[in-house]
Structure formats: structure tokens, C-alpha cells
Structure 1
Amino acid sequence: MTATERPALSPSLGAGEFRRWYWLKDELQAFARAQHLATAGSKDQLAERIAAFLAGAPLPAPAAPPRSSRQKLVPPLTIHTVVPAGHPCSQVLREFFVNALGPGFRFDAPMREFFAANDGTATLAAALDHWHATRDTAARPIGPQFELNRFSRAWHAANPGGTRDQMLAAWKTHRSLPVDQRG
């Protein structure tokens, strides 16, 4: 095995070497399951748990259970619909926004933050106002847990005429390299 060949994910892998490589969440979950580790939580939380296991260190506290809302929104939704606190960015909400704003609607960071901060008094009219108010803002930083999204943004900025297939091929090459050898 060379320094640029990804090792197998095994209990004998050191935590430092583990952190040098890109792992899919499915790979991490399968390894955690095989080692009788909890598989819940985000990819970052799972990677932290595995790194601690490989280092022989105490495992991080388990992830907090996701917030749930007792009341779920049921169509038909209108601008007067009040969104319960803790309601997720669901397909029901997505359908409302696609109908109101068009097929280009996405739950981006400003919209996810709007719903996360909702105390149960926000209406869908307020959500639409928030969406319109946040359209002209500069591109926001993409969190480190969204590696593909960060790579995609940077790649398309550097290759404005590039296609999605070209970007995905570049992504596969990028993620196959150890972290310390990526450009």
C-alpha cells in the first residue's frame, strides 16, 4: 500500500490514518455496526466516534435525538398556515414552496435556519417573505460536513463551462486522495 492508496477501514487502522481519508457515511455505518458502535447521528459525529474507537479513547457522547413536532402539517397549506415549532423541512413544505415559488425552490441554509428558529408562531407567509428577503445575499459558506457541496461550488467557480459529469469525475479523484495531498 502506498501513501496515496486508501487503506481498508479496519480495527487495526490508526485514528490519524483514518482521518486522512474520505469515507462515505454508509462505509462508516457498516464499520460501526461491525464494531458494535452506535450508528446514529451525522456523518461527522459517526466519524468522531470511530476515530475515538480506533484511538482507544473514550467515545463521544451519543448524538441528541432529533427534535420532533407533535403536530404535523397536512395539506392543503396556505399562507396563513402556522408552522409548529420543531417542524422539519418536509416534503409537504417543499410542495407548498415549489407551488408558490417554482421548481427552483430548495431548502437552503437561510430557509433551514428560519424553520429551526421558528417558535411555533411563524406562518408560511412569513416563510415566503424570508425566502424573498434572502435571495440577494452573497453566497454563504458551506459547512465542513457538506464536502461535496463545497467542492462543487469551488469547482464550478474555477470551471464555469464545466458539466456536472466533469465535476463528479473531478470529485471522485479529489476524494480518493488523502486529505493532506488534496489541492
Structure 2
Amino acid sequence: MRQECNNSRPEFDTIRDYEEFNKYYWYRDELIKICKDHGLKAPSGKIELNKVIEAYFSGERIPPEMKCVSKKKAVVTELTLETGLIACGFTFGQKFREFFSKQTGEEHFKFNVDIVATAKEVKEKGDESFTLGDLLDVYYGKKTYAKYDKSALQWNRFVKDFCADDATKVYGERLKAAAKLWGIVRDSDMEKTYSGELLEKYRDRL
């Protein structure tokens, strides 16, 4: 799909400033790679990633956070709500699914997207104070640590539907046109989906 909608976006290292960089749409994984390739901090959220890159273009380098890794891992034999997420080597495997199944009373427990985002953020920060009880609070919506970035999924669906519409074939740089239309939708209270009516309404702005 990306090849079909290729807009000849320049390589990152050829871009002169943040203003030029901001003219193009970048996937979250691309932003993470850019930050890592240039020795910069690579947080999980797109907003934070863009702030790091904006600072980079301003002459400020935000380095990765240094993590203290202990040589010996503590062996956790019993899981409790006070058990640290990092200390127990938390994964999304059956062991932890069964633990949360008992805590919630849900026979077929499933980790939601906010739990996935939170666990990833905790591990990236090396936050040893965060517990399984905290993760349960995230599940119930009692606590917020990191929110799942849904914008990438919305964009993927939007650009796929845009490119599937024969009416968009008139654009030589279809991804660029899709990104402009997406920007209008993203910054409004409109539903974050593509439609032919949307194209007709904003055609003069593409």
C-alpha cells in the first residue's frame, strides 16, 4: 500500500528543519528508528517522539535514559498485587493471564491495549516501583500510566480507504494528498474515517 501511495518523501538526513520535516506523515515506528539511529531518546508515544525530533532540529540532543541493570535478577516465586512488574519479568503469557483472571474473576481474561502500552512504558523507563496491582488499576481505568496510540491505526485505515477510492487516482502524490486530508480530519471533531463526501468537501485544499 505504501508503494502505491509513494510521495517521494525525502530521507530524514536531507531535511533542513523541523518545519520541513512536519510537512510529511511519519509512522510511529519510523520516528522511533530515526531517534535510535541518531542516538536520541525514543519514547513510545508519537507526541513525545516529535518533541525529541523538534529539539534535535533546534540543536538540542535529548539522549536515551540510562538504565541501571542489576547483575542478579531476583527470583519471584509467588505473584501478588505488590509484586513489581519488572521484578517478576512480566509478559503477556499464560502465567500472568491466569493471575489476572483470578484477580478479576474473568475466566477468559484479555490484556487491553492500555495494559500493553503501560507495560511497555514501564519496561522502557525501568520503573521498578510499578506493581501488578498498579497494572490492575490501569485495566479498571482507575489509573493512567501510558495510553495506547490509536492514531496510527486510524491513519492506516484512512490512507488504505483513500487509495482504494478511484476518485483519488487524479493525485500524482496520493500519500501526500491523503496526509493533508487526514490532517484536516485529525484536528477536527469529525469521525476519523475516509469517505468520498469528505474528499469532495475538501478537494480544493489538497
TM-score computed with the length of structure 2 as normaliser: 0.45
